[in-house]
């Protein structure tokens, strides 16, 4: 038996039917009890690496595997997933494809049942897991009717009940709001610390995990680009940002100020950064003087001011889904003007999507009214509303149906019964806008997920919407792609389009939205400029949200004169530079 729980020796893997390898010469060892954080942009090979560890590769996904993977001494070529999954339990990204049974209890028991655990023992394990994950209230319910956070907890629970020695967790929080993901990540780190389990976790949310991980690797294009302790890896915070990841904002700040601060160790957590900066500023006698305050405008603030014309007018809106006991939206009043740029934030189930679906009439008010461009949504069909309102859904696979990109993009304009030459003009223009004109005669099925997402956006842009709604630009994607989508949207705003964006990513909202709505329990809990909203963390906490890390850092350093509404790393960098500069 080797001293490592997992050894990956010079592994390359190509999926059947693909030309490019998904993994290229990957070598990796994981020690027992280690928490290894794996990160990298979409398509970097992270999920492929996970699938190698429990034998899905090469037994379930056939393809060409080179090199050797062994898990607790077992060669994965010789042992299939049935054996290996008992050693290395794997949790996938999307909980809804892993919940297999009619009740939460049955689901948690499923894996243990397959391993022939005696029924009395299964019962005990299920009860333990339910208690650990705080699922007592829902244990008899169908897992498919739970919130995203609870679903992910159940999926994790069914792995826990199998009692593997190694946990392989593939983006366990990608569909979760900040609180849901914090809960899941906390459970995972408890597991590592208390039960001394070996954990390999793929995650984009670095801020929450780098403090817990023993080691991290950064993958890109199928191979490992950086590896070491989080501290060592994050010393290259800027390089990591450049490949499309989101390193902790505090690390980025220190990396940008490397020369001025001359700080020996780049902080990786908020607390480390607060301690470091407090020490630095106090020792050098720096404070930030108000006259020196030079705001760095966010992307949203660089845009021209909105107009006075009303785009959306919501009055006393209450909405209840059929067969439910309580309303999903109650008594919402809201006015949005032309050219406004709105971010909508809130927990899963707080009513964000339910609210924005009202703007295009996919849902109609139970009482109250919604008027968009003067049209009462109850008196107009969705196709009528779609002439002015564009809605970008999360999953491009849920709408792409043509075998040619140009037909796909032309679908919307054709439904609007535009003349054929106008349709052609719009297709070309919108594809150019999303930088995909070269794909015009491709089959959308052959494209990468990122390209599909762009085609998806182009097909909405081709309808020339005056109001654009984006439901989560970043889920299941890396940060860079979310930013690209938002950059595109900024161009539209310059032309007077109104934008409403739903996001769990506070950094995206801080950078790209000028006004923010905070939803809670089907009501608008707070509504104001993005700076005002994030300047008030006490209020945000009531909805279980947190401002961006950099905002929290500035707030913690309030006694040195930092304002409480810093939104971006650039702004904080400029403030610290002027503090230091002001003294010298």
Find the binding residues for other proteins in span 446-485 (CB under 8 A): 459-460, 463
Touching other proteins, residues 532-561 (CB under 8 A): none
Cβ atoms of residues 254 and 265 within 8 Å: no
Burial of 234 per CB tally in 10 Å (0-12, 13-18, 19+) = buried
Touching other proteins, residues 411-450 (CB under 8 A): 411-412, 415-416, 445
Question: Segment near other proteins (CB under 8 A), from 81-89, 187-195, 285-293, 316-324?
Answer: 81-89
What is the rounded distance in angstroms from the CA atom of residue 36 to the CA atom of residue 30? 7
Mask for 169-208, x = binds other proteins (CB under 8 A) = ----------------------------------------
The residue (of 167 and 280) whose beta carbon lies closer to other proteins is 167
Least separation, in Å, of the C-beta of 385 and other proteins? 8
Least separation, in Å, of the C-beta of 230 and other proteins? 28
Number of H helices, E strands in the chain: 24, 20
Cβ atoms of residues 473 and 482 within 8 Å: yes
Per the document, the length of the chain is 584
The residue (of 53 and 533) whose beta carbon lies closer to other proteins is 53
Question: Segment near other proteins (CB under 8 A), from 75-83, 219-227, 273-281, 307-315?
Answer: 75-83
CA atoms within 13 A on the CB side of 51: 20
Could you tell me whether strands 498-502 and 467-471 are parallel, antiparallel, or unpaired per DSSP bridges?
parallel
What is the rounded distance in angstroms from the CA atom of residue 72 to the CA atom of residue 83? 11
Least separation, in Å, of the C-beta of 145 and other proteins? 8
Beta-carbon contacts of residue 543 (< 8 Å; ≥ 6 apart): 346, 347, 350, 518, 519, 520, 525, 526
Choose, by CB under 8 A, the member of 68, 134, 144, 193 that binds other proteins.
144
Least separation, in Å, of the C-beta of 189 and other proteins? 22
Strand partners, 170: 202
Choose, by CB under 8 A, the member of 14, 39, 76, 85 that binds other proteins.
85
Beta-carbon contacts of residue 508 (< 8 Å; ≥ 6 apart): 343, 473, 474, 482, 483, 486, 501
Angle at CA of residue 240, ends 236 and 243, nearest 5°: 145
- Report residue 201 as tokens: 């976790």
Choose, by CB under 8 A, the member of 86, 222, 351, 365 that binds other proteins.
86
Mask for 17-36, x = binds other proteins (CB under 8 A) = --------------------
Choose, by CB under 8 A, the member of 26, 28, 38, 162 that binds other proteins.
162
The per-residue DSSP string of 316-360 comes to EEEE--TT-SS-SEEEEEEEEETT-EEEEEE-TTSSHHHHHHHTT
Angle at CA of residue 509, ends 220 and 361, nearest 5°: 110
The residue (of 56 and 342) whose beta carbon lies closer to other proteins is 56
CA atoms within 13 A on the CB side of 296: 15
Residue with tokens 């001293």: 3
Is residue 379 involved in binding other proteins (CB under 8 A)?
no
- Report residue 268 as tokens: 């990786």
The alpha carbon of 98 is separated from its chain's Cα centroid by a whole number of angstroms, namely 19
Question: Segment near other proteins (CB under 8 A), from 15-23, 139-147, 475-483, 532-540?
Answer: 139-147
Touching other proteins, residues 93-132 (CB under 8 A): 94, 96-103, 105-106, 109-119, 122-123, 126
Touching other proteins, residues 209-228 (CB under 8 A): none
Least separation, in Å, of the C-beta of 292 and other proteins? 48
Number of residues that bind other proteins (CB under 8 A): 73
The residue (of 51 and 272) whose beta carbon lies closer to other proteins is 51
The residue (of 71 and 252) whose beta carbon lies closer to other proteins is 71
- Report residue 353 as tokens: 């999507």
The residue (of 281 and 470) whose beta carbon lies closer to other proteins is 470
Choose, by CB under 8 A, the member of 81, 228, 561, 563 that binds other proteins.
81
What is the rounded distance in angstroms from the CA atom of residue 361 to the CA atom of residue 386? 9
The residue (of 14 and 552) whose beta carbon lies closer to other proteins is 14
Least separation, in Å, of the C-beta of 311 and other proteins? 17
The residue (of 82 and 541) whose beta carbon lies closer to other proteins is 82
Choose, by CB under 8 A, the member of 14, 39, 48, 54 that binds other proteins.
54
């Amino acid at each position: 038996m080797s001293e490592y729980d997992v050894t990956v020796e010079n592994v390359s893997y190509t999926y059947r039917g693909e030309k490019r390898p998904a993994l290229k010469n990957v070598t990796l060892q994981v020690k027992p009890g280690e928490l290894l954080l794996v990160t990298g942009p979409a398509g970097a090979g992270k999920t492929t690496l996970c699938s190698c560890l429990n034998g899905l590769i090469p037994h379930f996904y056939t393809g060409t595997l080179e090199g050797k993977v062994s898990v607790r001494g077992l060669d994965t070529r010789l042992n299939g997933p049935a054996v290996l999954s008992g050693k290395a339990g794997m949790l996938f990204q999307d909980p809804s494809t892993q919940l297999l049974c009619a009740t939460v209890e049955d689901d948690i028991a499923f894996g243990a049942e397959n391993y022939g655990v005696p029924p009395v023992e299964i019962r005990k394990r299920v009860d333990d897991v339910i208690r650990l994950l705080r699922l007592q209230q829902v244990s008899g319910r169908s897992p498919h009717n739970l919130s995203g956070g609870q679903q992910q907890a159940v999926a994790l629970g069914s792995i826990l009940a199998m009692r593997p020695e190694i946990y392989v967790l593939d983006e366990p929080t990608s569909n979760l709001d900040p609180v849901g993901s914090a809960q899941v990540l906390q459970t995972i780190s408890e597991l590592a610390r208390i039960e001394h389990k070996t954990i390999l976790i793929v995650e984009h949310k670095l801020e929450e995990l780098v403090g817990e991980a023993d080691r991290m690797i950064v993958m890109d294009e199928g191979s490992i680009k950086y590896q070491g302790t989080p501290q060592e890896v994050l010393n290259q915070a800027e390089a990591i940002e450049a490949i499309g990841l989101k390193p902790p904002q505090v690390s980025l700040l220190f990396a940008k100020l490397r020369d001025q601060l001359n700080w020996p160790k780049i902080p990786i957590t908020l607390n480390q950064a607060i301690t470091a900066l407090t020490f630095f500023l106090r020792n050098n006698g720096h404070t930030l003087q108000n006259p020196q305050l030079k705001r760095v405008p966010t992307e949203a603030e660089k845009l021209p001011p909105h107009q006075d014309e009303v785009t959306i007018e919501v009055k006393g809106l209450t909405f209840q889904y059929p067969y439910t006991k309580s309303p999903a939206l109650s008594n919402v009043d809201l006015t949005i003007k032309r050219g406004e740029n709105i971010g909508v934030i809130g927990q899963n189930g707080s009513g964000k999507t339910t609210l924005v679906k009202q703007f295009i009439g996919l849902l109609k008010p139970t009482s109250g009214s919604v008027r968009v461009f003067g049209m009462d949504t109850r008196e107009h069909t969705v196709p009528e509303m779609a002439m002015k309102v564009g809605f970008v859904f999360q999953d491009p696979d849920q709408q792409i149906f043509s075998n040619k990109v140009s037909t796909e993009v032309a679908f919307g304009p054709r439904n609007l019964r535009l003349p054929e030459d106008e349709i052609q003009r719009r297709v070309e223009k919108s594809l150019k806008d999303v930088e995909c004109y070269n794909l015009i005669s491709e089959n959308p099925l052959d494209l990468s997920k990122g390209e599909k997402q762009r085609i998806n956006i182009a097909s909405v842009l081709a309808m020339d919407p005056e109001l654009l709604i984006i439901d989560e630009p970043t889920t299941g994607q890396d940060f860079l792609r979310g930013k690209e989508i938002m950059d595109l949207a900024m161009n539209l705003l310059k032309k007077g389009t109104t934008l409403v964006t739903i996001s769990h990513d506070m950094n995206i909202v801080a950078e790209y939205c000028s006004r923010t709505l905070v939803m809670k329990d089907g009501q608008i809990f707070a509504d104001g400029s993005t700076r005002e909203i994030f300047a008030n963390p006490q209020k945000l906490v009531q909805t279980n949200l947190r401002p961006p890390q950099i905002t929290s850092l500035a707030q913690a350093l309030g006694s040195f004169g930092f304002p409480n509404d810093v939104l971006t790393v650039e702004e904080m960098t400029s403030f610290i530079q002027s503090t230091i500069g002001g003294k010298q």
